[in-house]
Structures are given as structure tokens and as C-alpha cells.
Structure 1
Amino acid sequence: MGSDVEIIARIEDWTGEKITGTQSIGGGCIANARRVKTESGRSFFLKSGFDNSMFRNEANGLKELAKAEAVRVPEVLLQGDDFLLLEFIPQGGRKRNFFEDFGRQFAQMHRYQADQFGFYEDNYIGATPQINIPVGDEATNWTSFYMNKRLLFQFRLAERNGYADGKLRSGFRKLEEKIEDILAGSEEPPTLIHGDLWSGNYMSDENGEPVIIDPAVYYGHREADLAMTKLFGGFSSEFYSAYREESPLPDGYEYRENIYLLYHVMNHLNLFGSSYYGQAVRLLQSYF
């Protein structure tokens, strides 16, 4: 991994200016986040602290979200294996009707579609690898993709981590038998999704408009994206009402929320430990 001095030197080469100051920005739990300023007064957002594909994957995810031209995302400016330089977006207060606009923009983003589920590369959900390359019918069968690449991947990880006791194993066996019935009626084309949208992964910009950050992008089902927003208490009711007005959801979407929350709760179990075990079991048992 390049040293901090080497990273700053690369940024200076790119800007053609000296970096005159850096300021740590809180909120992240994985990478180091800083605001860097140049001698002419320009500011950029710098993430560093790892030497793997994580920053490249994040950059590619942001670029993919930008293609939808719906919700603002930070522009990717420069990247290496050990850092990511983004547009610095000043944070402002939320404008009136922020959540209504956010809900409509999010629905518009979900209109951006692809021919198959997954993504052209694997990436990360938090610090956990997220496997996106479909195999066989996973490319066109959402139930197969979601079961194999999302739920079973996390379950096998839980087995390796020692969290998969008899109750969890039994629940997943039952789920494999029933998942086609659970997801029946929700079939839609592969849709661009953020993949990890919760309250820590959006902000309001200098004009009070929504901005989404830190994605775990792939093409999947929009209900999965909406379910994630509810993991830690949810967004305002105006967000969901505006979303449904802009893009109505298939009947039964509330019934299917738990199956999509399960992926993220299993990921939290694997990342942060047994305090998420009970929630994972309850989500499984809600279908039996």
C-alpha cells in the first residue's frame, strides 16, 4: 500500500497544485476519509487505508449510478488500488420536500435496467465480498440469483464463522424450499440498485438536494433496495409515498421485505457478531 506521502504526491500531480491541508471527516467505519485542499482553494474528498479492489469497485459503482442521471452521486476524479479521490460535496440543510424529491429520484434511478442480474465485477457490501457474476440461470432468474449469490453466500460465511447452529440451518433449508413462493408475483427486469442505502449512505448537498454515497451496486430487484432503507428505522413516510407515486410496487412487497432484510442482517451477523443472530432467525421464521 502506498504511503500517505505517495498518495498526496499523486493527487498533486493530477491537480497540478500543492495540497496545503487535510481534514479528517468522520462517519466512515471502513476507510479513512479526509477533505484535502489545494493552494488555490479547491477541495476534494479522499478515501484511503486499503490496498485491494474496494476503492476501484466503489468508483465503478458510483459511475454506474451516475448513468441513471436520477440521484446525485459524487464524481469520481482519480483512483488507485489504495485510494479514491472524489468530488467534494459540501453538506447543507435538507430543503423543503427533501424526502419527496428523494423518493421520486430513487424511483427514477430504478428505471435504469440491464439484460441480466448481477454486475460485471464482484464488489463489497461493507467489508464483505459481494459476489455479482451470475452463473447459469442466475443471469435471468432473480430467485436463483438472490438465493445463491446473496442468502446462501452469507449463510456459508456464517457457517465458517461459527454462527450457523441447528436453528439457522433448519431455517435456511425451509427457505430454499419456499423462496420461489415468497418471491412469486414480484418478477421485474434487472434494475440498477444502490445495494446498501441506509441513513449513513445519503446526504444533502449545498442546495439541500439528495446525494447517495458508498454503494454496493448491482442489477437486482428494486424491492431489495427499498427494504435496506428500513433496516435501521427507515426513512420518512414521504420518501416511500413519493416513490410509490412515481413507480408503484407489485402487490405483496411488504410481505417480501423480510427476505431482503435477511441478506443485510446476515451480513451484519458475519461482520459484527452474534448480536444479530436473533434478528436473522426472526426474519427467517416470519415465513414459516
Structure 2
Amino acid sequence: MNKQQLEQLLGEDLTGMSSVGGGCIADSQVITTRSGRKFFLKQGFSNGMFRKEANGLKELARPGVIKVPDVIDCGDDYLILEHIEQGSKKKDFFEDLGHKLALLHRFEGEHFGFFEDNFIGSTPQENIPSEDEAHNWPLFYWNKRLMFQFRLAEKNGYADNTMQHLFALLEKVYEKILEGSEEAPSLMHGDLWGGNYMSDIKGNPVLIDPAVYYGHREADLAMTKLFGGFSAAFYRAYEETWPLQEGASERESIYLLYHVMNHLNLFGTGYYSQAIRLLEKLIR
């Protein structure tokens, strides 16, 4: 989308367009209008990714418990968002984030998944459940998350005999691993690592770049452990707001596996060993 198209869409002249970091994959810019309004523009893909992101942000906004950027407009190859000025984290930032994430997870869906497939990073993420998967979290998670990534790894040449053998063994025990943790479908950010939250000008938490679906909240929390960036106060506040079920720490590995497999498929063999270690841990 060029300057002229943006001016027509926003209804006023632009006085500035500056490139900024916008995650790992999108071409992102802050655009400023003559009246001083600012917007965040993402471009660089024409596969419908931005429409899916817009729908995810709108879904996260529904409970009204944590700030996400307002969607101004989107198309197949662009997304215009409210520009949120970044500020220093307030003193109780992580307590607030943990509390609000628990409240977000309290927002229940009618079934697991989402009304549309979307993306996690640039990887497609299948969300539309079969009749059997809609109310069976272990089956949904196995088919739509772990097996999707495994088949992609096979296609990419990463799933060697060792990985194939370990996945075959995991298939026999995944239901037992998840047994006893049943809950209603929770609204999930879906890709909650340290780069996908920020603090606004007042120091309040904001969630960005989601991969939204309704799932088991432990999967959202597991992702926060992959690269760090969340303090002990965050987890303490979450637990105080809505305690996790017994055995959550033992189930962490099966939820981490999805994200490690996704990173293997996105970035290559640097994540292979980590995937194998998780698989070996899970089948012990």
C-alpha cells in the first residue's frame, strides 16, 4: 500500500512513514498524519495473514480485560492498527500481566479451535475442529497441533527415523499425559513469548501478534517458558487469580513441543535436539 492509497483510506495527508521492528516477519512502519494521528502499518504478505491477525486481535479484545491494538483497517496484503506508544513498565507490570492473562483465559469458547485457521509466525495453524475434536482437547491438540507440525517436519526433511519412532510412541501415551486436566476452552493468545507483549506509555501491559484460538490455558503458559521474559511475579499473580490444576508442570513439555516443532520448521535444525529431548522426556 503506497502513500497515496494510505492518505485516501485515512482521509488526510501523511507527514511521516518510519520503519520499525514488527516481529520477525512483517514489514512494519509507523505512519503519521497531518493532524498528528499515528498508526501502525504491517505489510509484506498477501496470503490473508493480516486478516487473520485482525480477527485474532478483535477476539482478544472481546473480554475487555487486557489492552490489544485496535484494528483500523486490513486487507489481504496490509494491516493498519492503532499505534501504541511504548513506555517503561510500571512497578507491578508483571503482576498485572499475570492477573489479566488469567482473566483472559476465563473467557470461554463453545468448542476448541477457532472459526478460521490462522498462522503462528508464518506457519499455517489449523483451528477448525472436526466433530470429534471440538470437545476433546487431547484429540484436537494431537491432530491440529502436534501432528500438523510433525507432518510439516517430514515434508521439510527434519523428521528422521528417530523422530518418527518417538512420535509413534508419543501417540500411545499423549491422552494419558493430558488426563485429568480437562477444562472448558479458554481464549488463548496462542504465541505468548516475550516479544509478543509490550508496555504502553503508562506502563500497562499490551498483547500483540497473536495466534488466537480456544484451547487449554496451560498451552499459553508453557510458551512463556520457551525463551523466558516473564518474571516470577507474573506466574504468582496468575496462580493467585486462577490456580492451575495439579500436574501442570508435568504437562508443560507436551505444550512446549508444539512451539519447538514450529521453530524447527521455521528456522531449521538448530531446534532438532530440543524437540528430541522433549519427546524422550514425554515417553519415559
> Which bracket does the TM-score occupy, shorter chain normalised?
over 0.9
What displacement does 1:233 show?
Answer: 2.3
Cα shift at 1:177: 0.4
Give 1:250 shift. Answer: 0.4
Partner of 2:189: 194
Aligned to 2:29: 34
Alpha-carbon distance in 1 for matches of 2:280, 2:63:
37
Q: Does 1:102 align with 2:97?
A: yes
Give how far 1:234 is off.
4.6
The answer on 1:70 being equivalent to 2:98 is: no
Deviation at 1:224? 0.2
1:112 partner SS: coil
Deviation at 1:27, TM superposition (A): 4.5
Distance across 2 between alignment mates of 1:150 and 1:98: 31
- Aligned AA (1:181): K
Q: Which residue of 1 aligns with 2:220?
A: 225
Moved over 2 A (4+): 8-11
1:164-187 Cα offsets, whole Å, 9 max, x none, are 111111111111100111001110
Mapped to 2, the partners of 1:225 and 1:29 lie a distance apart of: 20
1:10 counterpart = 2:5: yes
Q: Number of residues paired by the alignment?
A: 283
Q: Determine if the alignment matches structure 1 residue 138 to structure 2 residue 116.
A: no
Q: 1: distance between equivalents of 2:264 and 2:100?
A: 31
After TM superposition, the structure 1 = structure 2 runs for residues 223-262 of structure 1, keeping only pairs within 5 Å, are 223-262=218-257
Give 1:165-180 correspondences, 5 Å limit. 165-180=160-175
The equivalent residue for 1:19 is: 14
SS state at 1:10 partner: helix
Matched, 1:82 2:71: no
Q: Distance in 1 between matches of 2:66 and 2:281?
A: 33
SS at match of 1:219: strand
Q: Distance in 2 between matches of 1:74 and 1:236?
A: 23
What SS does the corresponding residue of 2:132 show, helix, strand or coil? Answer: helix
2: distance between equivalents of 1:10 and 1:228? 38
What is the CA deviation profile of residues 80-123 of structure 1, one whole-angstrom value per residue up to 9, with x for unaligned ones?
11100000000000001100011000000001111100000000
TM-score of the two chains, using structure 1 as the length reference: 0.97
Task: Work out the CA distance in 1 between the residues paired with 2:12 and 2:229.
Answer: 43
State how far apart, in whole Å, the 1-side matches of 2:46 and 2:189 are. 23
Gaps of 5+ in 2: none
**What is the distance in 1 between the residues matched to 2:200 and 2:54?**
19
- In 1, are the aligned partners of 2:48 and 2:75 still within 8 Å (CA)? no
CA distance in 2, matches of 1:134, 1:187: 17
Residues 234/15 of structure 1: CA separation in 2 closer, same or farther (3 Å cut): closer
Structure 1 residue matching 2:79: 3-state secondary structure: strand
Q: Identity percentage over the alignment?
A: 62
Q: Distance in 2 between matches of 1:210 and 1:234?
A: 13
Equivalent AA in structure 1 for residue 129 of structure 2: P
Paired with 2:15 and 2:77, the residues of 1 have a C-alpha distance of 21
SS for the counterpart of 2:201 is coil
Give 1:10 deviation, angstroms.
Answer: 3.3
Counterpart CA distance in 1 for 2:257 and 2:229 is 15
Provide the rounded CA distance (Å) in 2 between the counterparts of 1:84 and 1:9: 16
Superposed displacement of residue 68, structure 1: 1.4
Aligned partner of 1:279 among 270, 274, 278: 274
Matched AA of 2:227: F
Query: CA contact under 8 A between 2:167 and 2:279: conserved in structure 1?
Result: yes
Q: Distance in 2 between matches of 1:272 and 1:14?
A: 36
Query: Distance in 2 between the 1:56 and 1:232 partners?
Result: 27
Q: How far does the alpha carbon of each residue in 1:212-240 deviate from its partner, in whole angstroms, 9 at most, with x for none?
A: 00000000000000000110025100000
Select the residue among 119, 124, 131 that pairs with 1:124.
Answer: 119
